[in-house]
Amino acid sequence: MRRVAVLGDVHGNSVALAAVLGDLRQEEVDLVVWTGDISWGWEPEATLELVRSFEVSARYVRGNAERALLELRDGQVETPTEREGWMAAHHTEADLAFVETFEIGLSIDIDGLERRTSATVLRGVTRSC
């Protein structure tokens, strides 16, 4: 693999994400690494649909927003805020199953780098994800 795009902190902004993904189609990337905090924002459903339907291989790293969604689902938040309740209501079980597949961290090999042939991506490592 030679061309890797790293995207994160989309925060449910499907309009901006659609534009970025359009640019990535022109760049012919081999892999997209998503670094979390993808759907916690104003259009979670549309954002996740764009992410899942993008036709390039992908790896996903769990951010604090993904951790929060799973904690809400699992009842680990005693009294959700209004915003947390809204977010939970706008993520289906299929969405949460997808989010649950996100890795805590990952390492990938990249061809063509002179001194480093791998990259490590970590996010949200100060708390259990």
What are the domain boundaries of the chain?
4-122
Partner residues linked to 19 by β-bridges? none
Tens-place pLDDT, residues 40-66 = 999 999 999 999 999 999 999 999 999
Question: Is 4-122 in CATH node 3.60.21.10?
Answer: yes
User: How are beta strands 31-34 and 4-7 bridged, if at all?
Assistant: parallel
pLDDT of residue 117: 58
User: How are beta strands 118-122 and 105-109 bridged, if at all?
Assistant: antiparallel
pLDDT band at 20 (very low <50, low <70, confident <90, very high): very high
